[in-house]
Structure 1
Amino acid sequence: MTISSNPTASLVVVVGSTGKQGGSVIQALAESDKEYRIRGLTRDVSKPQAQRIATQGVEMVNVNLTADNADAAEAAFKGASIAFIVTNFWEHLDKAREVAEGKMLVAAAKAAEVELVVWSGVESVVEVSQGKYTHITAYARKSGVQLLIVQAAVYASNYHSAFALKKEADGTYTLGLPVGPSTVVPIIDVVHDYGLFVREGIESPEFGAGTEVLASGEDISVAEMAAQLGTITGKKVVYKQVSDEQYMAATRAPHHVALELLEMWKYFEEFRYFGDKDTHPSRQHLNRSPRTWADFVRAADWSSILV
């Protein structure tokens, strides 16, 4: 561990420090040979996860990063050389709230004069699809901050659930999605690897402000995902393209969320997750290799899912 208390070390402020992305960022920077002070932001510093992170030398700060709490956010960013910013739509399922909070965080980092803002952004699907699909626009690009965007690929852990896989009467498991079997998606084991890409973006001279990093372990078709899952686990797993209606019903989510997920998959099929961008250059300067889908499958416990 190289988390430092040296006042001359760069201070990195991490939003969502107890979450998957933020936690991965802290771990990756702790493994660096460079010195970093780290300040983790959380709503409740008394929670076990926050206390565990604090034992690593991270300064944990209690702050509620809602859109109406900009002054507290700015204070939390004060003195930082680098700020890692992420929003969490799945916590509240409210896109308008997510956009408002994201804009507030970027503005607060700018007001605090943070030298580099690392934004866990997503591709502007409105631009790529020429308006066909709606999504959060890249507000941070236009904010005037020194911006590094680190886009996370599809979470491999999304498929480590009973929701993603359905057991049929004959014992076969189906991975059912509303797209063709040749649809290719980039996959990342986010807890294990996302921070690697943030560290690369911060430390590698090939990246830094004004660039973007596409964080993925590999690009793989949905049919090949099913095939590898079956081969590695010894279960019969097949890919099945389902109707839009079947997919939306299977999500068991509110209608607006199910529609968001459906449109997301339609976008992936037609335009690819990162548009026409190549993910390979973003894996060239990592400190270790990220997990592939097969690596994730081998590392995960499927006993309660493929029962």
Structure 2
Amino acid sequence: MTISKDSSAPLVAVVGITGIQGGSVLKELVASDKPYRVRGFTRDATKPASQAIANQGVELVSLSIVVENKDAVLKAFAGADIAFLVTNYWEHMNIEREIAEGKLQVDAAKAGGVKKIVWSGMPSFKNISGGKYSQIEDCEGKFAVSEYGRASGVPFVDVQAGYYGTTVFTLPCLLGKQADGTYAMPWPVHPTTVMPFIDATHDYGLFVRHVIEQPTFPAGSTIVAYGEKITLQDMAAQLAKGTGKPVVFKEITSEEFKTNLAAMGLPASLHDRMAAAWGALADFGWEVTNTHDGLPRHPRSWAEFVAAADWSTALA
């Protein structure tokens, strides 16, 4: 269907509508056989990506969701029935700001009369590990907002995005050519570690749409959006099969991983945090209890992602 203009159709407010997750949510709302009106928030409604979205019938609103712009944010959700909320820790890498901006979105949705909130959160590995892994700020910040949202009084669901398949492109040290001509995935984690992989652009919105369209909104629940739960050694094997390149998984130490991050030019402040994230996954995993039952379609597997992606640069 197309975006509805009928005032009886639910109005969905989507934060970050030009981003990966917000854009995926919009795509799935358009694909639904149910009518939706959509209000999308972006910082610059004049850029080409924004205009392309506006041309689909979306009510596009220029909005900077920061505490300094609190009054405008608190008014922006007025009249919306459903809200999709998301923050981007990696824009500023400040946990206090992450929490403040996430809570502001919850407050604004509540002030606007929203009846259902879907939030893009993350698990607390500090809690999961009994305090061993407490420095994974992006996860801890999002978890704090999840707790706040659940206590807001507005029906609230946390839809966590699994491990982005595109990370191997954005973090080149995760896939590289070795001296012998083979390619390695040198990650500081056991090869049998299971990851909830997702092609986020293609499939994240599928899980948000499913939550919204359930006969009873599953308030209070946590759902992980994933295409496949797969071991890292199987990811390497399927990447080799799909591309015809000799790819292997290579377990490295945390210190070796930090050295690779430094070689990429990433700031030292990130090294321990990123290494801790892998350590937490190696020691405790990422619990996923939901299935794909009831989804409007099946999300992409890792092998399907491999087949659809352009590997010409990553496996040059």
Same fold (TM over 0.5): yes
2:271 to 255, 258, 275: 258
* 1:116-138 CA-partner distances (Å, limit 9, x unpaired): 11100111223222222222233
Equivalent runs, 1:34-45 vs 2, <5 Å: 34-45=34-45
* 1:248-286 CA-partner distances (Å, limit 9, x unpaired): 232332222222211111111111123xx4242xx1111
Equivalent runs, 1:1-307 vs 2, <5 Å: 1-134=1-134, 135-136=140-141, 137=144, 138=146, 139-161=148-170, 162-205=172-215, 207-251=217-261, 252=264, 253-274=266-287, 277-280=288-291, 283-307=292-316
Are the counterparts in 2 of residues 2 and 33 from structure 1 also a CA contact under 8 Å? Answer: no
Q: What is the letter of the counterpart of residue 104 of structure 1?
A: L
Are the counterparts in 2 of residues 187 and 219 from structure 1 also a CA contact under 8 Å? Answer: yes
TM superposition shift of 1:75: 1.3
Q: Secondary structure at the match of 1:187?
A: strand
Q: Which runs of 5+ in 2 are unaligned?
A: 135-139
Q: Secondary structure at the match of 1:160?
A: helix
Are the counterparts in 1 of residues 194 and 231 from structure 2 also a CA contact under 8 Å? Answer: yes
Question: How far apart, in 1, do the equivalents of 2:35 and 2:313 lie?
Answer: 41
Question: How far apart, in 1, do the equivalents of 2:222 and 2:215 lie?
Answer: 13
Q: Secondary structure at the match of 1:219?
A: strand
Question: How far apart, in 2, do the equivalents of 1:260 and 1:153 lie?
Answer: 18
Query: Are the structure 2 counterparts of residues 13 and 264 from structure 1 closer, same or farther at C-alpha, using a change threshold of 3 Å?
Result: same
Q: What is the letter of the counterpart of residue 232 of structure 1?
A: G
Question: How far apart, in 1, do the equivalents of 2:259 and 2:30 lie?
Answer: 42
Are the counterparts in 1 of residues 2 and 56 from structure 2 also a CA contact under 8 Å? Answer: no
Query: Are the structure 2 counterparts of residues 269 and 103 from structure 1 closer, same or farther at C-alpha, using a change threshold of 3 Å?
Result: same
Give TM-score scaled by structure 1 length: 0.95
* 1:168-208 CA-partner distances (Å, limit 9, x unpaired): 11111110111111111100000000000000001023653
Q: Secondary structure at the match of 1:200?
A: helix
* 1:195-241 CA-partner distances (Å, limit 9, x unpaired): 00000001023653222322101111111111110111011111111
The RMSD of aligned alpha carbons is 1.4
Q: What is the letter of the counterpart of residue 289 of structure 2?
A: D
Question: How far apart, in 2, do the equivalents of 1:68 and 1:145 lie?
Answer: 24
Question: How far apart, in 1, do the equivalents of 2:179 and 2:222 lie?
Answer: 46
More deviation, 251-260/182-191: 251-260
